[in-house]
């Protein structure tokens, strides 16, 4: 897969791959931007993942609120209502977010973790 900056068509293909992966995160689990980036084909695409999720065309079908940073922290700039909204959505699925942070050891999507680590 070529980089995000290669052109509009590549950007759209990259975003679709990112959206496909995020759709697979089950309720009650989270993944990190870096994990999604690695599964999309380039583990250095964390910012691309963030941008793709910020312009999410289908918030009901693409659960971008299940993606957190490498420390488990929610985004203060969550695209659909700020960090507090992301916390509300995660807590509604049974994921506690004390101080805006998810316990990755307990709530990280294992399949993604395994795939991500294999690509490192």
State residue 12's pLDDT score. Answer: 56
> 15 vs 25, 65, 80, 106, CA distance in Å?
16, 16, 18, 28
User: Which residue among the candidates 25, 64, 97, 104 is catalytic per the annotation?
Assistant: 64
State residue 84's pLDDT score. Answer: 87
State residue 11's pLDDT score. Answer: 54
Task: Establish whether 64 is a catalytic residue.
Answer: yes
pLDDT in tens for each of the 120 residues of the chain?
444 445 555 555 889 999 999 999 999 999 999 999 999 989 899 999 999 999 999 989 999 999 999 999 998 876 667 668 999 999 999 999 999 999 999 999 986 445 555 555
Domain ranges of the chain: 4-119
Which architecture does CATH list for 4-119?
Answer: Orthogonal Bundle (1.10)
Q: Taking the model in full, what pTM does it have?
A: 0.81
| Cross-strand partners of 32 | 68
CA 11 to chain centre: 17
State residue 8's pLDDT score. Answer: 52
């Amino acid at each position: 897969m070529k980089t995000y900056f290669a052109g509009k068509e590549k950007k759209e293909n990259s975003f679709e791959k990112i959206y496909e992966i995020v759709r697979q995160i089950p309720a009650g689990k989270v993944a990190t931007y870096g994990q999604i980036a690695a599964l999309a084909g380039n583990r250095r695409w964390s910012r691309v993942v963030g941008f793709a999720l910020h312009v999410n065309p289908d918030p009901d079908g693409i659960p971008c609120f299940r993606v957190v940073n490498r420390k488990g922290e929610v985004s203060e700039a969550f695209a659909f209502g700020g960090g507090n909204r992301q916390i509300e959505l995660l807590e509604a699925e049974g994921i506690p977010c004390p101080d805006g942070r998810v316990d990755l050891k307990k709530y990280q999507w294992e399949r993604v973790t395994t795939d991500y680590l294999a690509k490192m």
